[in-house]
């Protein structure tokens, strides 16, 4: 059994599904599971952390934590970890987790295993595996030296746990010294789409250059909206200006592992495959039966995307309506 | 202004990765090495900042085996003024690399700004920028899409998630990690490639920058290639029939929708 700390992540007043994955996995392994919850006016969220397995919630509330800042998070989290001496500290490998966790690792003088896609608890240690070369290979991470083991875990890697609403947690209020911060967060400008981020979504619908225009991505967006999915794109589609770079899936974009990845009109360059091949179920729709994307697809449709994609959207809509 | 860029040399993204005999690493034979793509945006940003501030210099640093000097030369050919190579073993982890880079930077008289790529294309860990900032006690901004400089501070636009942009202001010294889209990196011209060969690349040993074995915190081992995928199901018929069958399979067989 290990003493595990999970750094909870929330945005717009809601906890991230990826935080529940970490808590669920730790609790299921029988660990002493703590959460650190940071923000301003977020006490209510502690209950939900308990439902997913947190036995103790270290609650750090401060006006300086209202908007996320890597510096403020680092400064608030580090003393809690130093005094509690956990065996393992976990955060999600989201834009937030990957930003502050290296700084926490530096202050604790320990290593951080980033972007783990497999994680198991063995006694007071973790056994972690992560991709390298954007998934063209994976490695086991060995921690050298003493101190807690830190890891960030890719969203969707551990599977969604079921909440138990009868569980409660002890709330420990912690005061943080957040004076002397160097950086100042001025504002956060929200994205317009309202769709989930491509790295966190459990379903991703992606389009390639065969879409022929930015306008034609509407049919990809329509399917994504039926499924509650994120929209992704190949590098070719991004370079052609059909989508912004933040949607790019592949070695020079985002690396994703959703439950379902639907590739529409994507041929499957080695860099693209590297970015999505760990998806649990892969669908490829492409006119070219020889396209490399079919080598990794669980379900392949050789056909014209302009005919198949709208038809599939209609079929999925029917399924959702039942 | 004293401007620095930390770069990493990585296998070209076209590389087909093979493992070495005992799976302790990859087979390095025949790999074409390049400057990690995001680092090109960092170099470009440094050059543009220098050119707007007469009297400034851009120094490029890289930590790794002797081969990484080639990538320092690439940055020099793009227009950087001088280079520093810190000799580290092939297996150095992010912490050792960051501490070595910070150690070399601390030897400089004054640091205003340090640019890096937002992550490297080989390990994709996205750690070194923040670690350098920690070891320099500097401010840090990662995944940066836009910059606005004023005096000795910078206002940056950072990509967060779902298309949201975070605007933060940081004082110098600051580490700025570049995201694709920050600028359009230039190509090195032939005369500049020739000139780059004559520019100075200072050589430092690990011990010169205070690095010892205990700075390595992680070791990657037991490398594996992804298991080959079983041949998938091909769905035949006209588009309407294909769509109907695919939806059924996703719902009933794969149970993902």
Query: Minimal Cα distance from B96: which residue of A?
Result: A111
Chains A, B: CB pairs < 8 Å: 262
Residue A23 shares a structural domain with residue A162: yes
Q: Is the pLDDT of residue A169 over 80?
A: yes
Instruction: Give domain status of residue A267, yes or no.
Output: yes
Residue A39 shares a structural domain with residue A156: yes
Q: Is the pLDDT of residue A230 over 80?
A: yes
Residue A166 shares a structural domain with residue A122: yes
Closest CA to B12 of B47, B48, B37: B37
Of A124, A153, A174, the position where a domain reaches its end is A174
Task: With H, G, I as helix, E, B as strand and everything else as coil, classify residue A195.
Answer: coil
- Please, are residues A139 and B19 in contact by the beta-carbon 8 Å criterion? no
Residue A16 shares a structural domain with residue A165: yes
Dihedral angle sign, alpha carbons of residues A241, A243, A247, A250: negative
Are A138 and B224 an interchain contact pair (Cβ–Cβ within 8 Å)? yes
Distance CA A243, CA A241 (A): 6
Are B134 and A106 an interchain contact pair (Cβ–Cβ within 8 Å)? yes
- In angstroms, the Cα distances linking B188 to A270, B49, B60, B185, B250 are 27, 18, 15, 10, 49
User: Can you give the pLDDT at residue A235?
Assistant: 96
User: Can you give the pLDDT at residue B120?
Assistant: 97
User: Can you give the pLDDT at residue B26?
Assistant: 97
Q: Is the pLDDT of residue A192 over 80?
A: no
Instruction: Give domain status of residue A92, yes or no.
Output: yes
Torsion of CA B169, B173, B175, B178, to 10 degrees: 60
pLDDT digits (tens, 9 = 90+) for A273-320: 999 998 999 999 999 999 999 999 999 999 999 999 999 999 999 998
Residue A151 shares a structural domain with residue A15: yes
Residue A243 shares a structural domain with residue A285: yes
Within 8 A of B38 by CB-CB distance, chain A residues are 252
Q: Measured between CA atoms, how close is B90 to chain A, in angstroms?
A: 15
Q: Model pTM?
A: 0.93
Are A137 and B240 an interchain contact pair (Cβ–Cβ within 8 Å)? no
Residue A168 shares a structural domain with residue A208: no
Within 8 A of A319 by CB-CB distance, chain B residues are 247, 251, 257
Residue A129 shares a structural domain with residue A11: yes
Instruction: Give domain status of residue A196, yes or no.
Output: no
Query: Minimal Cα distance from A260: which residue of B?
Result: B256
Q: Which of B95, B121, B256 sits opposite A259 (nearest CB)?
A: B256
Interface test with B, best of A183, A217, A257 (most B CBs within 10 A): A183
Within 8 A of A67 by CB-CB distance, chain B residues are 166
Q: Measured between CA atoms, how close is A252 to chain B, in angstroms?
A: 7
Instruction: Give domain status of residue A184, yes or no.
Output: no
Residue A36 shares a structural domain with residue A100: yes
Distance CA A98, CA A151 (A): 10
Residue A34 shares a structural domain with residue A167: yes
Distance CA B230, CA A274 (A): 17
User: Can you give the pLDDT at residue B55?
Assistant: 97
Instruction: Give domain status of residue A198, yes or no.
Output: no
Residue A226 shares a structural domain with residue A86: no
User: Can you give the pLDDT at residue B25?
Assistant: 96
Looking at the domain that runs over B2-215, which CATH code has it been given? 3.40.50.620
Residue spans of the domains in chain B: they are 2-215, 232-257
Instruction: Give domain status of residue A105, yes or no.
Output: yes
**Rg over CA atoms, chain A:** 21
Instruction: Give domain status of residue A77, yes or no.
Output: yes
Are B240 and A186 an interchain contact pair (Cβ–Cβ within 8 Å)? no
Number of structural domains chain A divides into? 2
Are B239 and A69 an interchain contact pair (Cβ–Cβ within 8 Å)? no
Region at A115 (left for phi over 0; alpha for psi -120 to 50; beta for the rest): left
Q: Measured between CA atoms, how close is A312 to chain B, in angstroms?
A: 4
pLDDT tens sequence for chain B (257 residues): 999 999 999 999 999 999 999 999 999 999 999 999 999 999 999 999 999 999 999 999 999 999 999 999 999 999 999 999 999 999 999 999 999 999 999 999 999 999 999 999 999 999 999 999 999 999 999 999 999 999 999 999 999 987 789 999 999 999 999 999 999 999 999 999 999 999 999 999 999 999 999 999 999 999 999 888 888 999 999 999 999 999 999 999 999 99
CATH of residue A137's domain is 3.40.50.620
Are B254 and A307 an interchain contact pair (Cβ–Cβ within 8 Å)? no
CATH of residue A255's domain is 3.40.50.1220
Instruction: Give domain status of residue A53, yes or no.
Output: yes
pLDDT band of residue A196 (cuts 50, 70, 90) is confident
Are A189 and B180 an interchain contact pair (Cβ–Cβ within 8 Å)? no
Percentage of chain A modeled with pLDDT above 90 = 91
Domain, as residue range, for A301: 203-321
Within 8 A of B14 by CB-CB distance, chain A residues are 270-271
pLDDT digits (tens, 9 = 90+) for A31-63: 999 999 999 999 999 999 999 999 999 999 999
Residue A137 shares a structural domain with residue A267: no
Of A155, A174, A193, the position where a domain reaches its end is A174
User: Can you give the pLDDT at residue A252?
Assistant: 87
Pairing of strands B218-224, A137-143: antiparallel
């Amino acid at each position: 059994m290990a003493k595990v700390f999970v750094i909870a992540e929330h945005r717009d007043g809601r906890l991230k599904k990826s935080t529940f994955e970490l808590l669920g996995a730790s609790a299921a392994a029988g660990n002493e599971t703590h959460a650190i919850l940071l923000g301003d006016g977020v006490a209510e969220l502690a209950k939900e952390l308990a439902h997913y397995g947190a036995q103790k919630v270290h609650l750090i509330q401060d006006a300086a934590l209202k908007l996320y800042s890597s510096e403020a998070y680092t400064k608030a989290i580090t003393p809690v970890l130093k005094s509690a001496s956990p065996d393992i500290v976990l955060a999600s490998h989201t834009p937030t987790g990957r930003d502050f966790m290296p700084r926490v690792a530096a202050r604790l003088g320990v290593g951080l295993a980033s972007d783990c896609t497999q994680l198991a608890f063995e006694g007071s240690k973790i056994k972690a595996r992560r991709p390298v070369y954007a998934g063209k290979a994976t490695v086991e991470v060995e921690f050298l030296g003493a101190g807690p083991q830190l890891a960030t875990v890719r969203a969707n890697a551990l599977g969604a746990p079921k909440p138990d609403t009868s569980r409660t947690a002890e709330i420990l209020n912690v005061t943080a010294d957040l004076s002397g911060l160097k950086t100042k967060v001025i504002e956060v400008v929200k994205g317009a789409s309202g769709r989930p981020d491509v790295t966190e979504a459990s379903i991703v619908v992606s389009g390639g250059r065969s879409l022929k225009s930015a306008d034609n991505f509407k049919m990809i967006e329509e399917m994504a909206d039926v499924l509650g999915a994120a929209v992704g794109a190949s590098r070719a589609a991004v370079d052609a200006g059909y989508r912004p770079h933040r949607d790019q899936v592949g070695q020079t974009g985002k690396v994703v592992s959703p439950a379902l990845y639907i590739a529409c009109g994507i041929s499957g360059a080695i860099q693209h495959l590297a970015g999505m091949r760990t998806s649990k179920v892969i669908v490829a729709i492409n006119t070219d039966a020889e396209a490399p994307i079919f080598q990794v697809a669980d379900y392949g449709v050789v056909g014209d995307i302009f005919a198949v994609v709208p038809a599939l959207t209609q079929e999925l809509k029917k399924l959702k309506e039942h | 202004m004293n401007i620095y860029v930390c770069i990493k040399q990585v296998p070209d993204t076209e590389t087909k990765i093979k493992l070495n005999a005992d799976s302790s690493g990859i087979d390095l034979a025949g790999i074409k090495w390049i400057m990690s793509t995001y680092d090109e945006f960092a170099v470009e940003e440094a050059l543009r900042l220098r050119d707007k501030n007469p009297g400034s210099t851009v120094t490029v640093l890289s930590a790794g085996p002797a081969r990484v000097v080639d990538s320092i030369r690439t940055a020099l050919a793009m227009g950087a003024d001088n280079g520093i190579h810190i000799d580290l073993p092939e297996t150095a982890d992010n912490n050792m690399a960051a501490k070595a880079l910070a150690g070399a930077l601390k030897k400089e008289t004054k640091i205003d700004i340090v640019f890096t790529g937002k992550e490297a294309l080989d390990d994709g860990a996205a750690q070194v920028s923040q670690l350098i900032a920690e070891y320099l006690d500097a401010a840090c901004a990662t995944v940066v899409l836009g910059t606005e400089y004023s005096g000795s501070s910078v206002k940056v636009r950072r990509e967060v998630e779902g298309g949201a942009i975070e605007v933060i202001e940081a004082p110098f010294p600051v580490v700025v990690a570049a995201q694709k889209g920050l600028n359009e990196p230039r190509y090195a011209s032939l005369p500049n490639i020739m000139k780059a060969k004559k520019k100075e690349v200072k050589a430092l040993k690990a011990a010169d920058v205070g690095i010892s074995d205990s700075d390595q915190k992680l070791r990657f081992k037991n490398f594996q290639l992804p298991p080959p995928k079983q041949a998938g199901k091909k769905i035949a018929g006209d588009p309407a029939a294909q769509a109907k069958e695919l939806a059924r399979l996703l719902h009933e067989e794969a149970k993902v929708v």
